């Protein structure tokens, strides 16, 4: 029964990606992000030995950013990379080149600044406050991004077909 359900779910998702790739990726990313943030807030509450007080504004800021960034911009970014560096022709060399372009160019120059300014606006920060926070946390955030998403991107570009890629 579980196998049948998984087969049905995979078929439905493949059909949705084929018919409506951007909305499907947006819904996928939104669901994963809000779930991940709820888990992160729960872990923070446990570590601080306090009751969970769900911060909906934080979750909305993060989820809205990730939905647009990964669900929309990521769709076009991954398709561009697949057109210029097809995975089928390059194996590990192409996968690692895609990781380099994503981590060293896209994330370093565009993702982090966009993240800080978008979430800052949702959380009521001024542009100057967001810029100051970005400057103060940039290298720490970038190395965390590289250490987490670098490994994820290797798996993404090596194992996941381009039409399914979101991160």
Taking only the tens place, the pLDDT of each residue in 108-159 is 999 999 999 999 999 999 999 999 999 999 999 999 999 988 889 999 999 8
Instruction: Identify the DSSP state of 162.
Output: G
Instruction: Classify burial at 127, counting beta carbons within 10 Å of its beta carbon; exposed 0-12, middle 13-18, buried 19 or more.
Output: exposed
Q: Measured in whole angstroms, how far is the alpha carbon of residue 40 from the centre of its chain?
A: 15
**CB of 13 closer than 8 Å to CB of 151:** no
Taking only the tens place, the pLDDT of each residue in 32-42 is 999 999 999 99
Rounded to two decimals, the pTM is 0.86
| pLDDT above 90 (res 10) | no
């Amino acid at each position: 029964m579980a196998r049948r359900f998984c087969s049905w779910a995979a078929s439905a998702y493949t059909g949705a990606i084929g018919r409506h790739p951007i909305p499907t990726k947006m819904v996928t990313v939104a669901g994963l992000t809000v779930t991940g943030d709820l888990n992160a807030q729960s872990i923070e509450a446990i570590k601080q030995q306090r009751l969970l007080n769900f911060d909906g504004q934080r979750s909305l800021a993060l989820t809205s950013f990730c939905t647009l960034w990964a669900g929309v911009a990521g769709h076009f970014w991954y398709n561009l990379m697949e057109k210029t560096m097809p995975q089928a022709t390059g194996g590990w060399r192409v996968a690692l080149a895609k990781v380099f372009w994503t981590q060293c160019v896209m994330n370093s120059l565009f993702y982090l600044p966009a993240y800080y300014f978008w979430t800052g606006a949702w959380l009521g920060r001024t542009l100057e406050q967001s810029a100051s926070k970005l400057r103060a946390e940039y290298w720490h955030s970038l190395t965390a991004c590289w250490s987490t998403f670098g490994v994820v991107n290797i798996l993404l570009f090596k194992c996941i077909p381009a039409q399914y890629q979101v991160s």
